[in-house]
């Protein structure tokens, strides 16, 4: 994390407020107050989150549930730094995400967040190992270290023997495990998973769930999972139901 | 992401759509190939035309006559010379010291009686033109002597064979009028090569029964040339002419017999200016020194203007081709951006900055540009070689000197590749910026 801290500190030299990374080497706590977000402007504005309040402790395993359009994906996008909230406060690990933009927001995604997508999001022309190394190439890890660490995380998700295969040669479950390995490669402190088992069969689902539980325990990161699956949600220590842009406990 | 990582990712990406990549590279190759071929051909054509105006010598060559200048026609390309004036070593030194003079080569001439074969040796197809004896008729001619080691600076075009060795006293080249005199086909000048010709230099005796004696030299014809160095059927080394001249000067003036002694040390000079732009200045300086000059100065300037127009037209055609190639690159990249919105989004979601995405797409464009540029330039130079061979054959068939195609400059090839790469980057700028500026959320799609 030393390198990442140096990068965060450099962010303050370019005029924008300096950002101090979360101090603990573990998961991040999340707090939101009056968080509001939507799409479109003026008469076409579609509000999605309507003043949402949220408290998630560091290292928690949270399941986000709710009907389509409730704002789950939008909340995940805000937590992941893919967008900036239109109103309210969103604090991750003591950092106000509303104050970050541009390259500092990208650095936040790089250094703090790990994403796991329903569609896996693997680059199909790269092998499993190269997909994992791609994430590390963004953080300035040397090529030798990238390869070593990629092999380590692939071994950790049980895919050491598939490191040289491309996504098209892997099953859905294997692809999702590669995606998890990629998300873990930069040692994230907040792991965001969007329907991680949505495209998987039962056996693969169980395997991926076990892996995510292990991530929380071994890596100590905070895990937020968006899911419609009750079985997946039941694994979480905290379940949040979103409806009409607000949390209903 | 470093440029290296960007290139590696780009290399993997281009194989995703091999047909599209191949077509894009082909478009660039066609554009750059056409531009390189046109540029090289235009360059060779320019050189050829200018060289032709310089009659085989450098276009910057100025002929200096052993005569005073005619003030009324000093600015024309071919002024009528004024009264004869001795052109000697002192004048040569003065001209060599003049500004912008690259070199000054003296030209000597010597009147001789030439006796062609079969007295020397047989020529295929020539049966002799003396009806009485079946022998060729001797004829009066002149030998032009120059320093043959500097022949590249002289208006001499080799049509067949080779030039005499520098300093040789037994080798000689002949002009096309020699073939005419022997009623030989000028399209086949090679028939006179390796034959011999006898050259007699007259020496007028001061008194006695024999008024004129001759010094005979038997010379081998090594080549056939078109030359504008001086008036004469034969081209030989300075040494051969000097020996003949010394013999004639050993006698007395024979003006009454039509054999006057030479009135000037050198029959003329060929002065080469540093560049075409300096020709006028050098001519003016030589005129100031008191000698008449001629050079196709104004003709070359006019032709250069026309050639410039041709260059612009050819260059425009090439640029249009390259522009079409650039549009091809832009179109292919835009399609790639559309196809990879989610991929770009994922890359941004895992921390890529705008510049990382920019590098990825620019590297991809650079791949197409450089690959297409290399292939196109190679193909273009190949086309130049083929065209040159065809043109060469035609020129030789027409009895003209061929073109030298070995001189396509490396810079043309470098511009072909470098220009394609630069154009690819320019064409890719907008699509790559568009990709880089895709919002992470929009690119990822519905989360």
Is the confidence at residue B175, as pLDDT, over 80?
yes
> What is the C-alpha separation between B164 and B159, in angstroms, rounded?
13
Distance to chain A for B328, nearest Cα, Å: 23
- The answer to whether A109 contacts B348, with C-beta atoms less than 8 Å apart, is yes
Report the pLDDT averaged over residues A2-26.
Answer: 38
Instruction: Provide the pLDDT for residue B144.
Output: 94
Report the pLDDT averaged over residues B321-339.
Answer: 84
Mean pLDDT (chain A) is 80
Instruction: Provide the pLDDT for residue B118.
Output: 58
Count of structural domains, chain B: 2
Query: Of the candidates B243, B278, B295, which is a domain's last residue?
Result: B295
Judge if pTM exceeds 0.80: no
Out of B5, B15, B16, name the one closest to residue A137 (CB).
B5
**Interfacial B residues in 41-60 facing A (CB < 8 Å):** none
Q: Is-contact B88 B265, C-beta < 8 A?
A: yes
**Which domain does B75 fall in, by range?**
61-295
Report the pLDDT averaged over residues B302-311.
Answer: 81
DSSP string, A148-160: HHHHHHHHHTT-G
Query: Of the candidates B295, B316, B350, which is a domain's last residue?
Result: B295
Query: Quick one: B359 and B418 in the same domain?
Result: yes
Instruction: Provide the pLDDT for residue A21.
Output: 40
Query: Quick one: B17 and B112 in the same domain?
Result: no
- The answer to whether A77 contacts B446, with C-beta atoms less than 8 Å apart, is no
Query: Quick one: B136 and B277 in the same domain?
Result: yes
Weakest mean pLDDT among B204-218, B232-246, B398-412, B432-446: B398-412
Look at strands B61-65 and B293-294 and give their pairing. Answer: antiparallel
Q: Tell me the pLDDT tens digit for each residue of B17-39.
A: 788 888 888 888 888 888 888 87
Query: Quick one: B164 and B31 in the same domain?
Result: no
Nearest residue on chain A to B346, alpha-carbon basis? A121
Distance to chain B for A186, nearest Cα, Å: 9
Query: Quick one: B258 and B378 in the same domain?
Result: no
Instruction: Judge whether B162 is closer than 8 Å to chain A, CB to CB.
Output: no
DSSP string, A2-16: HHHHHHHHHHGGGSS
Q: pLDDT-based confidence at A249, cuts 50/70/90?
A: low
- The answer to whether A139 contacts B351, with C-beta atoms less than 8 Å apart, is yes
> What is the C-alpha separation between B66 and A193, in angstroms, rounded?
97
Q: pLDDT-based confidence at A14, cuts 50/70/90?
A: very low
Query: Quick one: B103 and B45 in the same domain?
Result: no
Query: Quick one: B327 and B347 in the same domain?
Result: yes
Lookup: tokens for B27: 């478009």
Instruction: Provide the pLDDT for residue B31.
Output: 84
Q: pLDDT-based confidence at A8, cuts 50/70/90?
A: very low
Query: Quick one: B290 and B312 in the same domain?
Result: no
Indicate the burial class of B20 (C-beta count within 10 angstroms; 0-12, 13-18, 19 or more): middle
* Helix B354-397, helix B3-14: angle, nearest 10: 70
Query: Quick one: B246 and B214 in the same domain?
Result: yes
Query: Quick one: B311 and B279 in the same domain?
Result: no
Instruction: Judge whether B358 is closer than 8 Å to chain A, CB to CB.
Output: no
Query: Quick one: B42 and B65 in the same domain?
Result: no
The Cα angle at residue B167 between residues B166 and B169, in degrees rounded to 5: 120
Out of A76, A83, A106, name the one closest to residue B352 (CB).
A106
Report the pLDDT averaged over residues A41-64.
Answer: 86
Query: Quick one: B94 and B19 in the same domain?
Result: no
CB contacts, 8 Å: B346 with chain A: 115, 117, 121, 123
Out of B12, B356, B440, name the one closest to residue A82 (CB).
B440
CB contacts, 8 Å: B353 with chain A: 103, 106, 138
Is the confidence at residue A160, as pLDDT, over 90?
no
Lookup: tokens for A87: 């109103």
Q: pLDDT-based confidence at A17, cuts 50/70/90?
A: very low
Query: Of the candidates B246, B272, B295, which is a domain's last residue?
Result: B295
CB contacts, 8 Å: B350 with chain A: 109-110, 114-115, 134-135, 138, 182-183, 186
> What is the C-alpha separation between B191 and B55, in angstroms, rounded?
24
Instruction: Provide the pLDDT for residue B266.
Output: 93
Closest CA to B7 of B371, B375, B442: B371
Distance to chain B for A210, nearest Cα, Å: 23
Q: pLDDT-based confidence at B443, cuts 50/70/90?
A: very low
Instruction: Judge whether B356 is closer than 8 Å to chain A, CB to CB.
Output: yes
- The answer to whether B353 contacts A103, with C-beta atoms less than 8 Å apart, is yes
> What is the C-alpha separation between B32 and B421, in angstroms, rounded?
10
Q: Tell me the pLDDT tens digit for each residue of B64-85.
A: 998 888 777 666 777 788 888 8
């Amino acid at each position: 994390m030393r390198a990442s801290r140096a990068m965060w500190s450099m962010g303050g030299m370019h005029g924008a407020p300096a950002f101090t990374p979360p101090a603990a080497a573990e998961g991040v706590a999340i707090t939101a107050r009056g968080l509001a977000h939507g799409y479109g402007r003026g008469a076409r504005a579609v509000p999605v989150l309507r003043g949402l309040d949220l408290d998630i402790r560091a290292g928690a395993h949270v399941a986000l549930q709710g009907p389509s359009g409730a704002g789950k994906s939008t909340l995940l996008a805000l937590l992941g730094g893919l967008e900036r909230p239109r109103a309210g406060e969103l604090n991750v690990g003591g950092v106000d995400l509303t104050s970050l933009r541009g390259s500092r927001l990208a650095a936040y995604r790089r250094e703090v967040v790990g994403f796991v997508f329903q569609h896996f999001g693997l680059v199909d022309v790269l092998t499993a190992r190269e997909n994992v190394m791609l994430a590390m190439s963004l953080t300035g890890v040397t090529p030798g270290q990238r390869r070593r660490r990629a092999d380590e995380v692939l071994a950790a998700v049980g895919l050491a023997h598939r490191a040289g295969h491309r996504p098209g040669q892997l099953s859905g479950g294997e692809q999702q495990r590669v995606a998890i390995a990629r998300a873990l490669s930069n040692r994230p402190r907040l792991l965001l998973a969007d329907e991680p088992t949505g495209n998987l069969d039962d056996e693969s689902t169980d395997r991926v769930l076990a892996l995510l539980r292990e991530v929380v325990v071994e890596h100590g990161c905070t895990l937020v999972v968006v899911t419609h699956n009750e079985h997946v949600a039941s694994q979480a220590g905290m379940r949040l139901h979103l409806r009409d842009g607000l949390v209903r406990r | 992401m470093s440029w290296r990582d960007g290139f590696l990712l780009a290399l993997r990406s281009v194989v995703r759509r091999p047909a599209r990549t191949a077509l894009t590279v082909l478009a660039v190759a066609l554009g750059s190939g056409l531009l390189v071929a046109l540029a090289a051909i235009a360059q060779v054509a320019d050189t050829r035309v200018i060289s032709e105006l310089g009659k085989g010598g450098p276009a910057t060559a100025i002929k200096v006559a052993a005569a005073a200048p005619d003030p009324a026609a000093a600015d024309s390309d071919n002024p009528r010379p004024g009264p004869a004036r001795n052109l000697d070593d002192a004048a040569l030194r003065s001209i060599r010291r003049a500004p912008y003079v690259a070199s000054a080569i003296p030209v000597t001439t010597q009147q001789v009686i030439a006796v062609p074969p079969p007295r020397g040796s047989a020529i295929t197809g020539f049966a002799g033109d003396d009806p009485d004896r079946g022998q060729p008729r001797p004829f009066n001619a002149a030998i032009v002597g120059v320093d043959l080691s500097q022949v590249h600076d002289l208006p001499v075009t080799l049509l067949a064979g080779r030039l005499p060795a520098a300093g040789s006293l037994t080798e000689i080249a002949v002009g096309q009028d020699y073939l005419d005199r022997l009623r030989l086909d000028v399209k086949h000048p090679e028939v006179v090569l390796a034959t011999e010709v006898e050259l007699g230099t007259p020496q007028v005796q001061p008194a006695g029964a024999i008024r004129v004696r001759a010094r005979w030299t038997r010379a081998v014809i090594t080549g056939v040339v078109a030359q504008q160095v001086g008036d004469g059927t034969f081209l030989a080394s300075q040494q051969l002419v000097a020996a003949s001249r010394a013999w004639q000067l050993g006698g007395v003036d024979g003006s009454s017999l039509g054999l006057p002694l030479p009135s000037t040390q050198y029959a003329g000079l060929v002065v080469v200016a540093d560049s075409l732009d300096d020709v006028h200045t050098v001519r003016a300086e030589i005129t100031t020194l008191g000698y008449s000059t001629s050079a196709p100065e104004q003709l070359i300037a006019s032709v250069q203007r026309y050639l410039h127009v041709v260059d612009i037209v050819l260059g425009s055609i090439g640029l249009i081709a390259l522009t079409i190639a650039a549009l091809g690159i832009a179109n292919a990249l835009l399609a790639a951006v559309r196809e990879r919105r989610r991929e770009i989004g994922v890359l941004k979601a895992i921390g890529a900055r705008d510049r990382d995405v920019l590098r990825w797409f620019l590297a991809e464009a650079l791949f197409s540009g450089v690959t297409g540029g290399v292939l196109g330039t190679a193909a273009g130079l190949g086309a130049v070689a083929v065209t040159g061979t065809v043109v060469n054959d035609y020129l030789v068939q027409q009895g003209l000197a061929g073109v030298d195609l070995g001189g396509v400059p490396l810079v043309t090839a470098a511009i072909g590749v470098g220009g394609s790469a630069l154009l690819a980057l320019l064409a890719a700028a907008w699509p790559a910026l568009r990709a880089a500026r895709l919002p992470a959320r929009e690119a990822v799609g519905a989360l």
